[in-house]
Amino acid sequence: MKGELFSEYRGIPSQAKLLVYLSFIPNVAIGFIYTDLAYLLPNVKGLDPTLAGVVGSVMGVTLVVESIPMGILADRFGRRKMLLLGNVCASLSLIGFALTSSFPLLVVVALLEGTGETAYAVSVSALMAEKAGDEKRTPAFSLLAFIGWIAGALGSAIISTVVPLQSFGLDVGEAHVVLYVVVGLVNLSITPLIFKVKESQVHRETGAILPRKSGGVIKKFILYSVLIAVGAGLFVPIMTFWFSKAYGVTDAVSGPVLGLTNLLTAFVVFMSPRLAKKWGLVKATVVTQASSTVFMLAIPSAPNFAIAASLYLVRVFLMNLSNPLTQSLIMGLVSPEERGMASGITASTWRLPNSLSQIVGFALIGGGFLALPFYIATVLYAVGIALFWFMFKDARLPEESAGPPLQAPVQSSSLEGPEPPL
């Protein structure tokens, strides 16, 4: 059984494994900032919750505005260049959030973070699909998700180091500053290693502004994605804030708990390729996401933090079990030369509604309507999952078709050995 579980991961090309390895530190930073920023801004920086939501929304709007031009640039001039830009911008934004409490300056830092997020979005999925090939695309995305959740768990867990930092005479604000700066510098330090990623020469059209070959697939995916994004934005990015309002716990407590959620999810996503092999990508996605929605609906009824956190844990690993499946699906259905552009468009149409609904979530939770975000999200998820099934249930991927794969796995002579919203 153990051999069967890991059999799908054998033979992943070395360049794909290199991308997985290089994703670890950036995902620590992502796990850290997305767990703690919702707590840092209102509780440490002293921002009004609505303004804190605006900062998060600026990050999302930046991604939307920049996604199409950056996707075009990535497809035409190199996805690795965008990956480098993303890592640098993300690192500097962490340091920026640490060093200012001014709302205008925080907006500027959010613009920088959004640029980094955009550059990452238009590059990493396209690079992974290119390097892994059709046959190993789903296992490669699952391995990327595994490393991403492990790293995200570590990023969430290190939030608790603000407590020992205060034993050195720092107040809570100074402890957060030190932690953010250290994480930013460590993330910046891996930038030179990204140059080891090699990009294959792919013919790319020079006249297209939007995807021509893959437009129908992308439109369908966007319709589903927007519904899920709006629902998730109401509570997922601000769970530390929700836990503080619902049960009075600080981020030093809820952060490590959310980190444990990420850690358990990491091991669950190892089952994704087996589920895809048994049910197909679409059915496996629908079953896991629908199951997750049931647990999401129960969270606001939990009588204490322990039960609420447990329900959230189950909800997270069921929902995110489908992440590598949907990534593999969309990268398998779109034309290879349009993958960077497609990644940017799908990421932007997730991020904008997710960020805007985050403002609503902050306002509802700050106003004492603690259950309403989950109830609204349940309706949106149910509609989105149903649409996903009807739109993609008949989709055929290259590896599921008869005959040899349409795209051979990209091999590399340099064996490096072996991610994730969201």
Q: What is the pLDDT of residues 280-293, one digit of tens each?
A: 888 999 999 999 99
Q: Provide the 10 A C-beta neighbour count for residue 11.
A: 12
24-33, 91-100, 331-340: which range is least confident on average?
A: 331-340
Res 417 pLDDT > 60: no
CATH code: domain of residue 160: 1.20.1250.20
CA 141 – CA 324 distance, rounded (Å): 5
| DSSP summary character for residue 11 | T
Among candidate residues 391, 394, 340, the one with its CA nearest the CA of residue 224: 391
Residue 403 burial class via C-beta count within 10 angstroms: exposed 0-12, middle 13-18, buried 19 and up = exposed
Among candidate residues 18, 79, 33, 25, the one with its CA nearest the CA of residue 190: 25
pLDDT at 215: 75
pLDDT at 403: 44
Token reading at 375: 């109830």
The H or E element spanning position 114 is helix 103-121
- Angstrom CA distances, 164 to 160, 175, 252, 254, 337, stand at 8, 9, 11, 16, 49
- Is residue 124 assigned to a domain? yes
- Is residue 420 assigned to a domain? no
CA 2 – CA 387 distance, rounded (Å): 35
- Is residue 72 assigned to a domain? yes
pTM of the entire predicted model:
0.72
Q: What is the pLDDT of residues 173-221, one digit of tens each?
A: 899 999 999 999 999 999 999 999 987 555 455 555 556 667 788 888 8
Res 353 pLDDT > 90: no
CA 313 – CA 315 distance, rounded (Å): 5
pLDDT at 206: 52
- Is residue 405 assigned to a domain? no
pLDDT at 102: 92
Number of domains the chain contains: 1
Q: How confident is the model at residue 422 (pLDDT cuts 50, 70, 90)?
A: very low
Res 405 pLDDT > 50: no
- Is residue 219 assigned to a domain? yes
Res 81 pLDDT > 80: yes
347-351, 373-377, 399-403: which range is least confident on average?
A: 399-403
Residue 362 burial class via C-beta count within 10 angstroms: exposed 0-12, middle 13-18, buried 19 and up = buried
pLDDT at 388: 94
CA 422 – CA 415 distance, rounded (Å): 30
More confident residue, 76 or 224: 224
Res 351 pLDDT > 90: no
More confident residue, 402 or 141: 141
> Max Cα separation, the chain?
67
- Is residue 2 assigned to a domain? no
The residue segments making up the domain with residue 238 are 11-197+211-396
Q: What is the pLDDT of residues 294-313, one digit of tens each?
A: 999 999 999 999 999 999 99
- Is residue 316 assigned to a domain? yes
Q: How confident is the model at residue 35 (pLDDT cuts 50, 70, 90)?
A: confident
pLDDT averaged over every residue in the chain: 83
Res 4 pLDDT > 90: no
